[in-house]
Chain A
């Protein structure tokens, strides 16, 4: 059944790969630094600024959330033959991690040549690393923008950065952490009064420094959260997790390394079955795992001591936006007085305030029911839901362990 979704992802990749060949410059296939000579920066910029849906920055299907496609690609259960197929399909493309490794020094070495490089391609390169969160990928891509920039004044640089982050944001509007990451980066990097006194070059290097620092902090966030949450996992407890979250995995991994005795209930995480992946990972760590189908949550809740979920985004009310099903789990847990803990890095804090479930930009994804669905039957394809703050107990973030109401405090301090 994941044949279809897998092939769907492949289609995406094809879309990403192919169109540049049609266009004169083979931009996205090449490492960004090499293509600078090929096309004048202005036109390059303007093309992808002007046509948001231009072929090599696929917003291929506005009905499909790119964010959730990536997630599925990273965390869903992947069969071996799918892998083989995928590998064959993208074979001509340099391996992601390698590409990233090779790009970075090149970029750093030749800042002047990179002006025409495309943020989105850069971002996509980073994004393909399965361990790298989308926001961090965006942060790295934006840092690369600063490095590649040929601006001669601070203002110019800031405008360029702004443009880049805008294009990133518009590239995938469904990804909250991408938007939040871009915004936070802009705040963190550019909001410094020290920049105004210095000459441009030192200011620029300072910007790069800050950008790198921010990237580093964001990378470490997961570790910090894992450390913070250890106090909450006690011996003999039963933890319910939903879907696949890298932070939650890190938390559980650290707990296992600390020789805590606990067992984990994993939900299946339909439709991309990300829960299976998590249970796999946990089994490798010798943590007792039980798999549940998504509808068995209430059935097992009385055995559960705490619920651990990740988040796609943490919104201003202190609620979270997360994979479909989180809300109902939180509701069940709340009604049975079980604590619901959310592990989320602070770069997922977004200035959004959904009032209800429908009050978000729709993020849709294909759902395969295994049997053909008559065309008259409507399918709810939303990939995420919103869990209001009153159903959450605590948020573990790299800023500390927060109650939901503190999120807004932090956001106000960051943005205003």
Chain B
């Protein structure tokens, strides 16, 4: 956690703020140019021990950024690199490659110009504060792109170099080495992708005027933009998986070791580009919390009327898709399973109405279509991991269709596949989970649940039907108060319930015997990704030695690893936490949303570490959190191919 934060501050050279109390997105206009001005930035940082740079170099390599958003151009990288050694000196924790390699990746990937790479390597050299050697080294860097053997060595060097004071020549070189080492496979790949993307977007730009009116854009240009446009990781991995499913083994292998790039919403140029393709016009909220800038946050409530008015102009989007998308946007459908089922059913309708255009193959064209639908969904609300898995499943099914199948047969096959997925992976899986979980409920138990999970509700109701004697504590939290609906349903069925807010958790926990929680996803390291607040519930339960049972269908498992709730999350409407409905006297934050020095953070999910979890109940039985990767490994094929 600290490491992450430190690295964030490292990557942001201009303003050093700790935690999420952070600068306003549009800082004083004077500051940004100053930051890229080396001597001034020198004076800003008390710890920096860098010789001043030659102004000529700087101006050549650094177009001064105008916006307040960080690292949207290569120019922003300059101070990043230069701060790196001193920063690690400051924090005395050598964190060699993470911050700037990440930055570099983002940058290299999305810069329009093909020279982006070169520029970055230059900026890397800035860090070494040896402007004269830059000219020699830059080409070398870009040409050799850091041979792997060397990278290993230089990482070791970094460990030392990070601690040492960067004053002497060789020291400086050692500190520049890690930057070179950062040109890893991932980066080279990113470079390639960036170049390809640039080419493709150039092409797309070229025939954009033609393509705008056209519903389904031609396959080739669509594919590249789709990858760039897709925001959250899921969809991107979908695309990459799709490629994996293809018949190009080398491509497949290369894809494997590169984590799918994820849209960073603090990367302004990219956001801009994504917006061009967007159907939903989202206006971004203004004061975003620093730590979470990479996540999309939009003003709520503005898009819906806009979209509704557009209803008849949008051919590319099937009405069923459109409807579901609007429901996501309005929040009418929520909950992992409900969203996933709605999406799959919309896809099914769309597939039923689909007909392959002339000169196209169903497999390719339909995949592109689905991708465009998916990006529409993403614009409405970021996908959940379960939805990503379902999309991945569907795409594999499409690409695996035998070519001999006629169109109607293929469509029928796909529809039945979707039905199967819904039935087996969601509905039946829930039943199996209920069967398993009920065996853990004994007479006299006091079960605690948090928020509203449909599986947990089914478990409680089933156990009640079986005549088990137990009490339920529903813990809830603002702003969603989902637990109230659950509570109502449980009480109506005659269960004896108690209701409390999460503030009273530690008080109520001592009488609880088991905690049942739902999950949006379970990640490979056993981390449970779930409604925000789950982590605190699990932590308190663990402190009280109360077993925590996570109930989650196996189709929600994901092979990704996540250590915190920052790098991937969803931001809710900040107004929701600022306003208290029905309390006119609590109006202190009215119209304060645009205050420069106020940032509201309404996180949707959090990550519960595996240590707090006693058991995960899934359709494959009851497993410890350490066994999630086993399920993912053994049943990945099973998930994808049913």
Which residues of A are interface residues toward B (Cβ below 8 A)? Answer: 316-318, 351, 353, 355-356, 358-359, 389, 405, 408-409, 412-413, 415-416
Contact = CB atoms under 8 A, between A and B. Distances in A.
B427 interface: no
Categorize the interface residue count of chain B. Answer: 10 to 19
Contacts of A416: 620-621, 634
Give 9 closest A-B pairs by Cβ, nearest first: A405-B626, A408-B627, A355-B547, A353-B622, A409-B630, A317-B624, A412-B630, A408-B624, A416-B620
Given A355-B440, A355-B514, A355-B615, A412 B624 contact: no
A413 B626 contact: no
A412 B623 contact: yes
Interface string B617-640: 000111110110011001000000
Given A318-B626, A408-B624, 17 more contacts: A316-B621, A316-B624, A317-B614, A317-B624, A353-B622, A355-B547, A355-B615, A358-B442, A389-B624, A405-B627, A408-B626, A409-B627, A412-B620, A412-B627, A412-B631, A413-B630, A413-B634
27 contacts: A316-B622, A316-B623, A316-B624, A317-B614, A317-B615, A317-B624, A318-B626, A353-B622, A353-B624, A355-B614, A355-B615, A356-B547, A358-B442, A359-B440, A389-B624, A405-B626, A405-B627, A408-B623, A409-B627, A412-B620, A412-B627, A412-B631, A412-B634, A413-B630, A413-B634, A416-B621, A416-B634
Contacts of B624: 316-318, 353, 389, 405, 408
A351 B614 CA distance: 16
Given A316-B623, A316-B624, A408 B615 contact: no
Q: Counting chain B CB atoms within 10 Å of each CB, which of A351, A358, A405 scores highest?
A: A405
Interface in B432-446: 440, 442
Nearest to A317: B624
Contacts of A412: 620-621, 623, 627, 630-631, 634
Contacts of B630: 408-409, 412-413
B512 to A, nearest CB: 13
Nearest to B611: A390
Interface string B421-462: 000000000000000000010100000000000000000000
Nearest to A356: B547
Question: SS class of chain A's interface: helix, strand, loop or mixed?
Answer: loop
A357 B521 CA distance: 29
A67 B624 CA distance: 27
Interface in B519-538: none
Contacts of B614: 317, 355
Nearest to A389: B624
Given A359-B440, A405-B624, A412-B623, A353 B631 contact: no
B639 to A, nearest CB: 13
A38 B627 CA distance: 52
Contacts of A353: 615, 622-624
A176 to B, nearest CB: 16
A351 B439 CA distance: 13
Contacts of A389: 624
A316 B622 CA distance: 8
Contacts of B622: 316, 353
Contacts of A318: 624, 626
B621 A351 contact: yes
A316 to B, nearest CB: 7
Contacts of B627: 405, 408-409, 412
Interface of B: 440, 442, 514, 547, 549, 614-615, 620-624, 626-627, 630-631, 634
Nearest to A413: B634
Query: Which of B514, B620, B627 has the largest count of A CB atoms less than 10 A from its CB?
Result: B627
Contacts of A359: 440, 442
Nearest to A390: B611
Nearest to A318: B624
A178 to B, nearest CB: 20
Contacts of A358: 442
A10 B626 CA distance: 45
Contacts of A413: 630, 634
Contacts of B634: 412-413, 416
Contacts of B626: 318, 405, 408
B498 to A, nearest CB: 21
B161 to A, nearest CB: 35
A137 to B, nearest CB: 27
B49 to A, nearest CB: 43
Contacts of B514: 355
A355 B617 CA distance: 12
Contacts of B547: 355-356
Contacts of A351: 621
A392 to B, nearest CB: 13
Residue of A317, A355, A389, A413 with highest tally of chain B CB at under 10 A: A355
Nearest to A319: B624
A208 to B, nearest CB: 30
A348 B469 CA distance: 33
Contacts of A355: 440, 514, 547, 549, 614-615
B145 to A, nearest CB: 38
A413 B627 CA distance: 11
A389 B611 CA distance: 12
Contacts of B549: 355
A316 B634 CA distance: 17
A405 B616 CA distance: 14
A403 to B, nearest CB: 9
A359 B623 CA distance: 15
Contacts of A317: 614-615, 624
A393 to B, nearest CB: 15
Contacts of B440: 355, 359
B247 to A, nearest CB: 29
Nearest to B628: A408
Contacts of A408: 623-624, 626-627, 630
A321 to B, nearest CB: 15
A413 B626 CA distance: 14
Nearest to B622: A353
A179 B627 CA distance: 23
Contacts of A405: 624, 626-627
A356 to B, nearest CB: 6
A184 to B, nearest CB: 16
A275 B440 CA distance: 34
A360 to B, nearest CB: 11
B549 to A, nearest CB: 8
A108 B367 CA distance: 61
B508 to A, nearest CB: 19
A323 B363 CA distance: 60
Looking at A351, A356, A358, the one whose CB has the most chain B CB atoms below 10 A away is A356
Contacts of B631: 412
A356 B621 CA distance: 18
A226 B622 CA distance: 31
A318 B625 CA distance: 11
A353 B620 CA distance: 13
Nearest to A412: B630
Nearest to B547: A355
Nearest to B617: A353
A307 to B, nearest CB: 22
B108 to A, nearest CB: 38
Nearest to B623: A408
**Which residue, of A316, A351, A408, A416, has the highest number of chain B Cβ atoms within 10 A?**
A408
A388 to B, nearest CB: 9
B486 to A, nearest CB: 23
Contacts of A409: 627, 630
A81 to B, nearest CB: 44
A353 B622 CA distance: 7
B179 to A, nearest CB: 38
Nearest to B631: A412
A377 to B, nearest CB: 23
A173 to B, nearest CB: 14
B565 to A, nearest CB: 24
A316 B514 CA distance: 19
